[in-house]
């Protein structure tokens, strides 16, 4: 693993978190969010049964929740990460804390599969799950 690759991957992940930050005065930065992903990327939310969604479907769902007021404010903060790189592929785990509507907190883990394409690291898939009493968040510090 090269330090440059790890830094570049971390920058992509941070950009993704920054794009997913909104409230009444600030809209999500969907262009920056989409730029983190390869065009064929799939997301795998924590809901079961497991259902893969493409980036556009994810954005549409989040915007619908913003529009109807169910998710008027949202932010995620990275709590720690682990990144493994081999050549042009990488796996990154990122622990996070989510704050929804300025009052509901939860924590979870993002699992990123990434690939370098044209010199840039892109997320090719992202799966996540939430912390629970029977599923504590691992320490990624």
Residue 15 lies in a domain: yes
pLDDT in 10s for each residue of the chain, 141 residues: 457 899 999 999 999 999 999 999 999 999 999 999 999 999 999 988 999 999 999 999 999 999 999 999 999 999 999 999 999 999 999 999 999 999 999 999 999 999 999 899 999 999 999 999 999 999 887
Cα(96)–Cα(131) distance, rounded to whole angstroms?
10
**Pairing mode, strands 120-130 and 37-44:** parallel
Q: How many distinct structural domains can be found in the chain?
A: 1
Residue 139 lies in a domain: no
Residue 104 has which token pair?
């509901």
Cα(75)–Cα(79) distance, rounded to whole angstroms?
13
Is the full-model pTM beyond 0.85? yes
The torsion of the CA quartet 134, 54, 41, 84, rounded to 10 degrees, works out to: -20
Residue 122 lies in a domain: yes
Cα(118)–Cα(25) distance, rounded to whole angstroms?
36
Residue 75 lies in a domain: yes
Residue 94 lies in a domain: yes
Residue 32 lies in a domain: yes
Residue 8: give its domain's CATH number.
3.10.450.50
Residue 33 lies in a domain: yes
Nearest alpha carbon to residue 54 among 129, 124, 128: 124
Tell me which residue range forms the domain holding 120: 3-130
Length of the chain: 141
Residue 86 lies in a domain: yes
Cα(28)–Cα(31) distance, rounded to whole angstroms?
9
């Amino acid at each position: 693993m090269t330090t440059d690759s790890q830094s570049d991957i971390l920058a992509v992940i941070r950009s993704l978190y920054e794009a997913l930050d909104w409230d009444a005065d600030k809209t999500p930065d969907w262009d920056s969010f989409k730029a983190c992903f390869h065009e064929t990327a799939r997301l795998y939310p924590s809901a079961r049964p497991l259902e893969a969604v493409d980036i556009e479907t994810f954005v549409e769902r989040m915007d619908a929740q913003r529009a109807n007021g169910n998710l008027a404010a949202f932010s995620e903060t990275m709590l720690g990460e682990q990144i493994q790189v081999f050549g042009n592929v990488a796996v990154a785990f990122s622990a996070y804390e989510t704050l929804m509507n300025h009052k509901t907190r939860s924590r979870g883990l993002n699992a990123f599969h990434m690939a370098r394409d044209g010199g840039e690291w892109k997320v090719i898939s992202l799966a996540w799950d939430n912390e629970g009493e029977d599923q504590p968040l691992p320490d990624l510090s």
